[in-house]
Amino acid sequence: MSSYDAIYAVVRRIPKGRVATYGQVAELAGLPGQARLVGYALYRVDMQHPDIPWQRVVNAKGKISHSVFRHGTDYAQRSLLEAEGIHFTASARIDLSVYRWNPAET
């Protein structure tokens, strides 16, 4: 299994209404310290295919990582998360103590 396949397998497990951080996904995929690789892998996901819920991965601060290379999907990510019932604070953060996925619970 490639690194990207391992990352995608973890991301597919994140349930609706929960989020994981890039670092958390890297750890669970057996790639500790490779949070940036998770970002690269998710950038390559075809956003039109819902089998990899890329929108459920956020940075360690509970924020969406904005990038000019994402061509507006930053805003789509927030909309998708809000549609799943995830609330953002006034400072555009997700309370990770509330919404962070705990794999032991699923």
For the chain, what are the domain ranges? Answer: 3-105
Task: Provide the pLDDT for residue 2.
Answer: 94
Tell me how far CA of residue 104 lies from CA of 13, 14, 26, 54, in angstroms.
11, 11, 16, 20
Could you give the CA distance from residue 87 to residue 92 in angstroms, rounded to a whole number? 9
Nearest CA to 39 among 18, 11, 13, 16?
A: 11
pTM beyond 0.85: the answer is yes
Task: Provide the pLDDT for residue 69.
Answer: 54
Q: Mean pLDDT for each 10-residue chunk of the chain (106 residues)?
A: 94 97 98 96 80 95 77 76 97 97 88
Pick the CATH number of 3-105 from 1.10.10.10, 3.20.20.30, 3.30.1370.60, 1.10.10.1400: 1.10.10.10
